[in-house]
């Protein structure tokens, strides 16, 4: 009897277990899932179409300044004052330390090395790819161009950096590397450029925005110029200047790119607003989907540069110092005897580039917001009642509308803005003027600099005069140190807002003269119908140069992570 019950129990138990088991086994496969939103290793590197997309994604590591106000390095120089960027203020105040350097380089270190790894990954994976070799070689040249570009960016700020040409593995015992010298990094960039120049397409046949022979030549030329410069070439090794000269001359002589001749201010301005792209060698282009702002807010160049009245906030404002560096139309500096400059009527008879590059009191420009028409800009306040907003100019610090966004110097940059567009532009109205990495004029200047350093003043003057000739300015005749001085001013004036000044200050080692002085602007009052200009207006008095800042600090955490194999730049 008892046994029978046990049997019964056993049977029921068994059947219940069986039922359970059946339900369970039906689901074994449930955990085997594939990602629905991404590609695998194999599919990317065995298919030319997806591999192209991988290369495209790497281009994005070429940085452009308009996605954030930190991007406009002009605020770290004597050309401009950027009120709201802590990192720029830290730089101009001499307060860069081992922990805050990446604010100033805008996170360059890890951005560049990520792009470098992508290139290395490409080269390693492509070696085993079934895709035809010529496609691989072509795409590989794009990747190597980007890697070389990133290395140049790194070298610019940090000096010698580790040259990494293979990918690190996750399970590596350690990741320690040491820095290569400036010479080694320069040699690496030059070698890479030399190797890809024959592979890359010519500008004339290439898609606009892609790496080209010409772009690689330009990269090599600028790299060599930097490598020859005093900061990078403390022994002043002349052979470096020679190499730089040859490379820059090659770019200067490239056919297919036009530089302006006797152009007007407007024609000059058109180089930067996208209308005239004839001298652009390499640039980053924009569309509605891939915009300057890199997000949906539509805040591109106009947004950072425009005044308050255009519904922006003058994030980067030109200093009086850069304003005063522009000649009168007669070729004399305002401060020079016989220039005809009237400090109480300062914006007349200036050279064309002044009008192309700046907005100032009385400048005529389209106000895209307040009046939606062209009008004279008003940076003045009422002399007798400066607190009465309705008497003050629209662009003044006492304006009716958003006075806090008014320029702290009473100037705004015009270069790179697009007239008629507002400060936030999305959809089909998106601001799409390209950010120029290399344009031909630069290489005239680069070449001139090399020749000056090599003592060949004639060719130097010729090249400088070609630049001046773009807007019909008189030839220069200086020689010796005056020529060098004139060249440096010419370069500063021509390349303002183009991410050159910060590096020129550094590589020429002119930190004290550029940054050991306050950032000044002008205070303008309207007294009846008369404008009064006061030039003692200080926008920022907290500028101080410290020599260690010729180099950016290597992020301290990276030195720790390398177990101190990486060495820090001096002074940090």
Partner 1 sequence: MYKKYTIKRGMLNPHIVKILLIMRITTAILIVAFMQVSAAGLAQKITLSKSNVSLKAVLKEIRQQSGYNFLYTDNILKGARPVNVKVNGVDIQEALKQIFNDQTLTYSINENTITIHEKIGLNSNAGISIRREIIKGRVLDEKGNPIPGVSVSVKGTTNGTSTDMNGNFSISAVKGEELIVSAIGYSIQTITIGKETELSIVLKESEAKLEEVVVVGYGTQKKKELTTAVSAINSKEILQSQSFSVSNALAGRVPGLIVNQRSSRPGNDAASIFIRGASTTGNTAALIVVDGVANRDGISRIDPNDIETISVLKDASAAVYGAQSANGVILITTKRGKTGKPTVNYSFNHGVVSPTRYMRMSSAADFVKGINDLDRQAGRASTYTAQQVTDYVNGVLPSTDWLRATQKSNFDQDRHNLSVSGGTEAVKYFLSLGTGTQGTINVGDKTSKYTQYNFRSNIDAEVTKNFSVGLDLAGRKQNTNFLGVSDGELFSWSVLGPPVLPATILGGYPASGRGNNNPLAVVSGDSYNKTENFLLNGTLKAKYKIPGVTGLSVDGFFALDQGQNFQKVWQQPWTFYVEEKGVAVPRTRPNPPSLAENISKNQSITKNVKLNYEREFDKHAVSAFVSFEQNQTNNQSVSASRVGFVSPVIDQLFAGSPIKDNQSNNGSAGDGARQNYLGRISYAYAKKYLAQFYIGVNGSQIFPEGKRFGNFPGGSLGWVISEEQFMENVNLVNSLKVRASYGILGNDRVGQYQYLNVYNFGSGYVFNGSDVSALNPGVVANPNITWEKKKSFDIGLDATILNNSLSFTIDYFKSRTSDILARRNATVPNYTGLTLPNENIGIVDNEGIDGEVNYNKMLGKVRFNVGGNFTYAKNKIVFVDEVTPAVPYQNSTGRPIGTQFLYKVKGVYRTADDLNKYPGLAGKRIGDLIYEDVSGDGIINGDDRYPIERNATPQIQYGFNLGLQYANFDFVAQFQGQARAVQYFGYLFDNTNNAPEYFVKNAWTPDNINAPLPSVGRSTATNDLFLRDVSFLRLKNVELGYNFPKSLLSKIGLQSTRLFVNGYNLLMFDKLKKDGLGDPENVDSRGFVFPQTKIISLGLNATF
Which residues, 55 to 94, sit near partner 1 by CB under 8 A?
Answer: 56-57, 59-60, 83, 86, 93-94
Nearer to partner 1, 447 or 550 (CB): 550
Q: Which of 2, 23, 198, 239 contacts partner 1 by CB under 8 A?
A: 23
Q: For residue 213, give Cα distances in angstroms to 54, 181, 217, 271, 282.
A: 21, 26, 6, 22, 10
What count of other Cβ atoms lies within 10 Å of the Cβ of residue 398?
18
Stretch that binds partner 1, among 349-357, 438-446, 463-471, 540-548 (CB under 8 A): 540-548
Considering the complex, what minimum distance in angstroms separates the CB of residue 12 from partner 1? 5
Residue 196 tokens, joined: 């890809």
Q: Tell me if 393 contacts partner 1 by CB under 8 A.
A: no
Give 19 or 202: the residue with its C-beta nearer to partner 1. 19
Q: At what angle do helices 440-453 and 457-469 cross, to 10 degrees?
A: 160
Q: Rule CB under 8 A: is residue 97 a binding residue for partner 1?
A: yes
526: phi then psi, degrees, rounded to nearest 5: -105, 120
Q: Are 169 and 121 in contact (CB under 8 A)?
A: no
Q: Which of 109, 152, 413, 533 binds partner 1 (CB under 8 A)?
A: 109
CB-side neighbour CA atoms (13 Å) of 241: 17
Q: In whole angstroms, how close is the CB of 60 to partner 1 at the nearest point? A: 6
Under the criterion CB under 8 A, does residue 103 sit at the interface with partner 1?
Answer: no
- Pairing between β-strand 523-527 and β-strand 519-520 as defined by DSSP bridges: unpaired
Residue 1 binding partner 1, by CB under 8 A:
no
Task: Retrieve residue 569's tokens.
Answer: 């730049």
Q: What is the dihedral of CA 57, 59, 63, 65, to 10 degrees?
A: -90
Q: How far is the CB of 36 from partner 1 (least distance, A)?
A: 4
Q: Please list every residue from 280 through 299 that binds partner 1, using CB under 8 A.
A: 284-290, 294, 298
CB of 241 to partner 1, least distance (A): 31
* Min dist. Cβ of residue 157 to partner 1 (A): 14
Q: How far apart are CA 66 and CA 356, in angstroms?
A: 19
In this chain, which stretch among 189-197, 357-365, 441-449, 532-540 interacts with partner 1, using CB under 8 A?
A: 532-540
Residue 70: CB partners within 8 Å, gap ≥ 6?
85, 87, 88, 103, 106
- Give the one residue of 39, 256, 371, 485 binding partner 1; rule: CB under 8 A: 39
Q: Does the protein bind partner 1 through residue 465 (CB under 8 A)?
A: no
Beta strand 80-82 with 364-367 is unpaired
Q: How many CB atoms lie within 10 A of CB 475?
A: 12
Q: Which is nearer to partner 1, 114 or 376 (CB)?
A: 114
359: left (phi over 0), alpha (psi -120 to 50) or beta: beta
Residue 216 makes contact with partner 1 by CB under 8 A: no
371 binding partner 1? (CB under 8 A): no
Among 1, 2, 32, 528, which residue interacts with partner 1 (rule: CB under 8 A)?
A: 32
Burial of residue 450 (number of CB atoms within 10 Å: 0-12, 13-18, 19+): buried
Q: Which residues in the 116-175 window bind partner 1 by CB under 8 A?
A: 116-118, 120-121, 161-162, 164, 167-168, 170, 175
């Amino acid at each position: 009897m008892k046994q029978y019950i046990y049997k019964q129990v056993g049977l029921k138990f068994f059947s219940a277990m069986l039922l359970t088991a059946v339900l369970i086994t039906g689901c074994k496969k449930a955990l085997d899932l594939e990602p629905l939103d991404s590609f695998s290793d194999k599919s990317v590197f065995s298919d030319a179409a997806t591999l192209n997309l991988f290369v495209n994604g790497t281009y994005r590591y070429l940085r452009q300044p308009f996605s954030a106000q930190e991007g406009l390095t002009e605020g770290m120089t004597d050309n401009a004052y950027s009120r709201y960027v802590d990192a720029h203020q830290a730089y101009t105040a001499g307060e860069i330390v081992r922990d805050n350097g990446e604010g100033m380089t805008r996170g360059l270190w890890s951005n560049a090395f990520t792009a470098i790894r992508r290139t290395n990954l490409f080269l390693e994976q492509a070696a085993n790819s079934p895709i035809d070799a010529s496609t691989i070689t072509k795409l590989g040249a794009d990747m190597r161009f980007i890697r070389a570009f990133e290395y140049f960016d790194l070298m610019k700020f940090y000096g010698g950096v580790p040259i990494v040409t293979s990918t690190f593995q996750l399970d590596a015992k350690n990741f320690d590397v040491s820095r290569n010298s400036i010479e080694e990094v320069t040699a690496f960039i030059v070698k890479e450029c030399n190797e890809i120049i024959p592979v890359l397409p010519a500008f004339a046949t290439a898609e606009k925005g892609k790496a080209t022979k010409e772009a690689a030549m330009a990269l090599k030329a600028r790299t060599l110029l930097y490598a020859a410069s005093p900061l990078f070439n403390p022994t002043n090794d002349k052979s470096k200047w020679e190499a730089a000269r040859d490379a820059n001359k090659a770019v200067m002589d490239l056919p297919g790119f036009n530089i302006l001749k006797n152009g007007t201010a407007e024609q000059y301005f058109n180089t930067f607003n996208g209308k005239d792209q004839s001298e652009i060698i390499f640039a980053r282009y924009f569309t509605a989907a891939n915009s300057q702002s890199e997000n949906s807010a539509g805040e591109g160049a106009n947004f950072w540069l425009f005044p308050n009245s255009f519904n922006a906030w003058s994030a980067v404002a030109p200093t009086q110092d850069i304003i005063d560096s522009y000649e009168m139309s007669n070729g004399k500096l305002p401060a020079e005897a016989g220039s005809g400059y009237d400090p109480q009527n300062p914006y007349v008879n200036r050279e064309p580039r002044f009008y192309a590059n700046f907005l100032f009191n009385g400048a005529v420009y389209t106000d895209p917001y307040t009046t939606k028409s062209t009008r004279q800009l008003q940076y003045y306040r009422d002399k007798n009642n400066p607190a009465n907003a309705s008497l003050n100019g629209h662009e003044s610090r006492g304006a009716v509308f958003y006075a806090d966004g008014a320029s702290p110097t009473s100037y705004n940059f015009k270069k790179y803005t697009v007239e008629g567009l507002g400060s936030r532009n999305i959809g089909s109205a998106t601001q799409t003027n390209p950010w120029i990495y290399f344009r031909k004029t630069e290489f005239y200047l680069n070449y001139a600099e090399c020749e000056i350093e090599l003592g060949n003043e004639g060719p130097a003057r010729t090249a400088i005069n070609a630049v001046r000739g773009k807007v019909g300015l008189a030839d220069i005749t200086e020689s010796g140190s005056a020529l060098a001085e004139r060249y440096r001013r010419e370069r500063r004036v021509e390349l303002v807002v183009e991410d050159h000044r910060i590096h020129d200050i550094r590589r020429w080692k002119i930190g004290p003269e550029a940054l050991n002085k306050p950032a000044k602007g002008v205070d303008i009052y309207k007294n009846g119908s008369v404008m009064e200009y006061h030039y003692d207006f200080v926008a920022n008095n907290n500028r101080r140069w410290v020599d260690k800042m010729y180099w950016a600090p290597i992020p301290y955490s990276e030195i720790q992570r390398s177990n101190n194999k990486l060495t820090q730049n001096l002074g940090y």
